[in-house]
């Protein structure tokens, strides 16, 4: 991503942001509500075109090759849109077939997604009958069923209880080999527990691109914690 910028009319939502996520990396995207995280992720996923700059996903330009980007990408949006009246198993099968999966491969990928997201108990239920936590896990399963090399997750643990959050962290770490993973959150401890690197954004600007161990070192030297280090970055940028 080079110089990604997005305007909504006269409002600048994302301001000249550049970064790269390599295969095998888990990168956390951190910032307060309204910082521009979701807008940037929507540009990566081709939901929104950038007003300026260039975004490549798996070598494909989001503006010029949106269909190729979508085939490469597994995306969970902040507001998880599901077909509420469908049964869970029918919905996941529907998504898998849209992704081009057929026959034995389709069955194998569905079995994998159901097991990894622990959906066995709700497969025969309609989505509207499932709890908020289960709906989030259904969305994750749908995003990953086609085994994408690039994964983008917007607030993926929203609605999960603490036990489910811990399980999801282990799950995400297990996906890292050969994949580039970017996920957003406004919870510093969650990002630090999963990520190799942290991107800090506020008011549409990228304030930091740092390794988690480097941020921990700064916190240790300041006799502080990660939350305080990140908040200090945001405060200094706001006063600049």
* Helix runs in the chain, H state only: 37-44, 66-72, 88-98, 103-116, 132-144, 162-174, 188-194, 212-221, 226-239
Cα 164 to Cα 172: distance, rounded to the nearest angstrom: 12
Evaluate whether residue 186 is within a structural domain. yes
Give the H or E element holding residue 210: strand 205-211
Q: Which residues pair with 52 in a beta bridge?
A: 5
Evaluate whether residue 74 is within a structural domain. yes
Cα 70 to Cα 51: distance, rounded to the nearest angstrom: 19
Cα 119 to Cα 124: distance, rounded to the nearest angstrom: 10
List pLDDT tens digits, range 121-141.
999 999 999 988 899 889 999
Q: Which residues pair with 153 in a beta bridge?
A: 76, 183
Evaluate whether residue 190 is within a structural domain. yes
For residues 224 and 83, the model is more confident at 83
Q: Which of 3, 33, 31 is nearest to 18 (CA)?
A: 3
Model pLDDT, residue 64: 95
Angle at which helices 88-98 and 132-144 cross, to 10°: 20
Does residue 114 surpass a pLDDT of 90?
A: yes
Question: pTM for this structure?
Answer: 0.87
Q: 45 is in which domain, residue-wise?
A: 2-80+148-239
Interacting residues of 107 by C-beta distance below 8 A, sequence separation 6+: none
For residues 221 and 129, the model is more confident at 129
Contacts by residues 57-64 (CB-CB < 8 Å, ≥ 24 positions apart): 57/150, 58/149, 58/150
List pLDDT tens digits, range 15-57.
999 999 999 999 998 888 888 988 999 999 999 999 999 999 9
Does residue 236 surpass a pLDDT of 80?
A: no
Model pLDDT, residue 32: 80
Model pLDDT, residue 239: 53
Model pLDDT, residue 238: 59
Evaluate whether residue 20 is within a structural domain. yes
Evaluate whether residue 134 is within a structural domain. no
Find the CATH number of the domain harbouring 156. 3.40.50.300
List pLDDT tens digits, range 147-167.
999 999 988 887 778 888 888
List pLDDT tens digits, range 163-220.
888 888 888 888 888 999 998 887 888 888 889 999 999 889 998 898 988 888 888 7
Evaluate whether residue 106 is within a structural domain. no
Evaluate whether residue 191 is within a structural domain. yes
Instruction: Name the domain count of the chain.
Output: 1
Interacting residues of 92 by C-beta distance below 8 A, sequence separation 6+: 110, 113, 114, 119, 138, 141, 142, 145
Does residue 240 surpass a pLDDT of 70?
A: no
Q: Which of 134, 67, 63, 64 is nearest to 99 (CA)?
A: 67
Model pLDDT, residue 237: 66
Evaluate whether residue 35 is within a structural domain. yes
């Amino acid at each position: 991503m080079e110089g990604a910028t997005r305007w909504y009319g006269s409002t600048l939502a994302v301001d000249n942001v550049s970064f790269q996520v390599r295969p095998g990396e888990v990168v956390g995207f951190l910032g307060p509500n309204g910082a521009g995280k979701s807008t940037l992720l929507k540009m990566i996923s081709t939901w929104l075109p950038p007003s300026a700059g260039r975004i490549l996903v798996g070598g494909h330009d989001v503006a010029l090759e949106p269909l190729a980007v979508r085939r490469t990408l597994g995306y969970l949006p902040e507001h998880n849109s599901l077909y509420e009246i469908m049964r869970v198993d029918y919905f996941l099968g529907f998504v898998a077939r849209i992704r081009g999966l057929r026959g034995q491969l389709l069955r194998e990928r569905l079995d994998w997604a159901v097991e990894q997201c622990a959906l066995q108990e709700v497969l025969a239920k309609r989505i509207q009958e499932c709890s908020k936590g289960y709906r989030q896990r259904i969305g994750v399963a749908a995003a990953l069923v086609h085994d994408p090399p690039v994964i983008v997750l917007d607030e993926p643990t929203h609605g999960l209880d603490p036990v489910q959050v811990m399980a999801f962290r282990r799950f995400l770490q297990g996906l890292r080999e050969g994949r580039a993973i970017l996920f957003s959150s406004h919870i510093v401890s969650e990002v630090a527990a999963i990520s190799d690197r942290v991107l800090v954004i506020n008011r549409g600007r990228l304030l930091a691109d740092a390794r988690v161990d480097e941020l921990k070192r700064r916190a240790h030297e300041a006799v502080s914690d990660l939350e305080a280090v990140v908040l200090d970055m945001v405060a200094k940028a706001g006063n600049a």
